[in-house]
Amino acid sequence: MKILNQEITMIAAVAEDNGLGLDNKLVWHIPRDLKHFKDLTHGHCIIMGRKTFESLPKALPYRKNIVLSRRKNINYKGAVIVNSVEKAIDETKNDPRPYIVGGGEIYKLFMNYSSYIELTRIHHKFKSDTFFPKINLDKWEVIKRHDIKKSEVENYNYSFLTYKRKK
């Protein structure tokens, strides 16, 4: 769904069962996926929930960090705090491609607003307590796929998938 000529994009790395992480941490380390995330989101607005922001060492540089939270009176260095989806989107009005970067509840909130999903599918199962919402293939189609095989540098097989909302 385009909003103000924007293409809101959700970006996530998920396990086979859509697991995102455990105890507010990623349970894998894939340097190439981190670079992929950085390359795509650099220079853009990123919207995340409070727990996701708190899991970071600091606000991500070269991006407008927008934190969506129900909590009142919170303040984070380098981030704009909002308390509604509409206010989060309004903060991105000058960005043609803002990114939704997590966590699980935030992805659910933005599923109907998003035009694209950039998903790294890790072909492995991990213990997780947070999950990416199920992607309805009646509404979404894969328009790009790049498979990466396990190697000395990469501990898992995974795929970079780009989904586009069907018209």
What does the domain layout of the chain look like in residue ranges? 9-165
Share of the chain above pLDDT 70, in %: 98
Domain 9-165 has CATH 3.40.430.10: yes
**What's the pTM?**
0.95
Is the pLDDT confidence value at 92 over 50?
yes
| Nearest CA among 4, 111, 1 for reference residue 47 | 111
Q: What is the overall mean pLDDT for the chain? A: 95
pLDDT at 5: 80
Position 3 scores a pLDDT of 59
The arithmetic mean of pLDDT across residues 90-95, rounded, is: 96
